Chain A
Amino acid sequence: MKLTEDIAKSLMRRLKLPVPEGAPAETAARVGELASEFGGTVALKALLPTGRRGKSGLVRLVGAADAEDAASEMLGRQTDLGYVDRIYVEKGAEIAQEFYLAFSFSDRVPMITISTAGGVEIEQVHATTPERIVTTPIDPLKGLRPWEAIDLWSRAGLKGRSLADVGRLTARLWRAFVELDAEMMEINPLAVDADGRLSMVGTMIEIDDGALGRHPELSEVPSQRPDNPRERMVNDVNRANPGGDARYVELDGDIGLLVAGGGAGLLQHDMIVDLGGRPANHSDISPAPGTVKTEAVLDAVFTNPRSRSLLIGYNHLQMAPVDRVVEALANSVQRNKVDTSRFPIILRLLGPREAEARALAAQIGGVTYLPSGASLLDGARAIVEATRKVSAQQDEGATA
């Protein structure tokens, strides 16, 4: 979960890290009030959980007196980065030097990236002066200690009084990175004023979704709900039920997919596309017992106006019983009054309790259950063929 700047900075403030004075506002009038309270120059930043706002005109530096007008221009704008409904108002920092600092992960280790060329996008520094970037793995068992951080900044070319302060702050930020279960943390710029005081002017944090359960302090953060009503429904069912999440993402084709086993789902989708089919969605779901989330995905497929067919294609299950999937299908078909003679359903479901699953599928009627030896490719072929037929019929019907 990417945090918006107001949340990220309030977390940092709570950890007593040096963040400039600032607050979020929803109206231009409130922006004006905050600006005159801070005085001097203020930064107005659109509260969208993303970088690259500066380029899109979503960060503006203005005098306190002009803040309200500038805010009315920004608020209510639909931009390619999102809809602007809130602005973060921040006291302008006096900047003598700007640095860059980020923590992230490679596949197996945490990484730190620093540069004394801060204030611009790191990609740009990398393209023009890569020698000004120092990046190195961190041993997660030892962490990053102050003297190690000082050594890194010294290698990045930092000298004098700032070196010790920036190094110590870096070690404290490492601890914050761990405590917050952050997946990514970027401070850009990390500013130093003429008196040597540090200030984290730009702060972006992404929290590891897998760790959200142990951060009750973040449960109040409004998470971004999908705009699509069916994606939102599946999302809400996930939130309301424990265990692994069901994923459902809508695309612009006409083949509904309940595919599972992350890997087998990806492969079937590729094969369908290779055969000229166009999925109406992608999905992924844990095959573990419990049908609530499976039914949510099926309901989404059946109520998506674009889907004309459904493939239920799981990898050969080794532990979970397959009849639970068919049970979910029976419930969802009934609830959504699906006419299986007009909406082809293909099942490629092999594994424990397959005989029971086949018997149950026969009761639903009009469902094609592929035989035991069927491969994932057989399932892909069957659904592409069935969808083509039903589309041709329906298009004919429409023109007749």
Chain B
Amino acid sequence: MSILIDKSTRVVVQGITGNQGRYDTRLALDYGVNIVAGVTPGRGGEKVEGVPVFDTVAAAVAKTDANAAVLYVPVNGVCDAVTEAAEAGIGVILATTENVPRHDAVRAVAAAREAGAWLVGFNTNGVISPGKCKIGGIGGDDPDALYPAGRIGVVSRSGGMSAEIAMALKASGHGVSTAVSMGGDRTTGRSMCEYLELFDADEQTDAMVIYGEPGTGNEAEVAAALRSGRLRKPVVAIVAGRFQENHPRGVSFGHVAAMIGDEADSASAKIELLKESGAEIASSLDEIGPALDRRFG
């Protein structure tokens, strides 16, 4: 097991003929990912890296039984691309684009939910189940070096931090069941807690590591699920951005979402809430390994 993607995942790449789409497709094929189709309207019938290109997602699904989609589309096309994939019956949709306009983002999220699809992103570099499958650029040109297989689930608001967490896990003798860069935009397809619920039910995951930031209700929702017992496996949390509390509100220092508008959204408030709810807090990456060992002592 693993969550969201595994050996049986069949991937369609929307925007496969663009530079990023083509490049990531090459690397994914090298990793052994089953990329069965690409979509670029007007380019149906061509091939990219040996992968057949279709004009629509529905045509690609009809021909190849694709069940996951990766989107490399410009920001103003994201909402349509997500909706198209969801209505074509795709189960997992990864939207890599960042800073998606709010109105488009919420429409895409609603369309995906209505179709029963799981939307990852916006502003994600991907999901990887080491040794089985990956969608998106996650892992770069050497996913095996960055993401060793193991039994820890990772959910990160930042793609870069998911790699840093995996490196810290590796250094402390752990590995990854699935690592998810859930998206750094304020609006994401699913909440951090929804990913943790998947990991909680996954037999091959023993514990989870989350990376959070100021802004959004994601971490508070995780804390509530821990308190209520809805999440039973150990959670190690690292929440960055405490320094922002020394500066005026409304100044954005990182991701668009990582802006404190409200004290409850600050890094310190989230850390406090997670700690009270039974999560292990790591204040640096080097503390993740020991925190996991404490829980499995």
Contacts and interface: CB of A to CB of B under 8 A. Distances in A.
Contacts of B107: 140-141
Q: What is the size category of the interface that chain B forms with chain A?
A: 35 or more
9 contacts: A105-B187, A106-B217, A262-B254, A263-B161, A266-B253, A269-B241, A269-B243, A271-B284, A375-B285
Contacts of B253: 247, 249, 265-266, 269, 282, 284
Interface in A257-286: 260-267, 269-271, 273-274, 279, 282, 284
A178 B171 CA distance: 48
Main secondary structure on chain A at its contact with chain B? mixed
A272 to B, nearest CB: 8
Nearest to A378: B286
B294 interface: no
Interface in A240-265: 244, 247, 249, 251, 260-265
Contacts of A108: 106, 109, 187-188, 191
Interface in B80-118: 98-104, 106-107, 109-111, 114
A263 B156 contact: yes
Contact of B213 (A251, A263, A274, A375): A263
A69 B122 CA distance: 52
B240 A263 contact: yes
A245 to B, nearest CB: 9
A210 B99 contact: yes
Given A264-B158, A319-B125, A107 B243 contact: no
Nearest to B123: A262
Nearest to B98: A244
Interface stretch (A18-26, A195-203, A309-317): A309-317
Contact of A140 (B106, B184, B240): B106
Contacts of B141: 352
Contact of B158 (A106, A110, A274, A315): A315
B193 to A, nearest CB: 11
Contact of A315 (B114, B164, B216, B256): B164
A278 B224 CA distance: 35
B283 to A, nearest CB: 7
Contacts of A282: 243, 253-254
Q: What is the size category of the interface that chain A forms with chain B?
A: 35 or more
B254 A263 contact: yes
Nearest to A281: B253
Interface of A: 105-110, 139-141, 178, 181, 183, 208-211, 213-214, 244, 247, 249, 251, 260-267, 269-271, 273-274, 279, 282, 284, 314-319, 351-352, 373, 375-377
A318 B139 contact: yes
Given A263-B211, A316-B163, 10 more contacts: A108-B187, A140-B103, A247-B253, A262-B213, A266-B267, A269-B253, A273-B242, A318-B163, A352-B140, A375-B167
B240 A270 contact: yes
B213 A266 contact: yes
Contacts of B99: 209-210, 244
A272 B52 CA distance: 49
B138 interface: yes
B159 A107 contact: no
A140 B161 contact: no
Nearest to A214: B76
B160 interface: yes
B289 to A, nearest CB: 11
A296 B276 CA distance: 43
Contacts of A140: 103, 106-107, 110
Contact of B238 (A209, A247, A267, A279): A267
B140 A318 contact: yes
Nearest to A283: B253
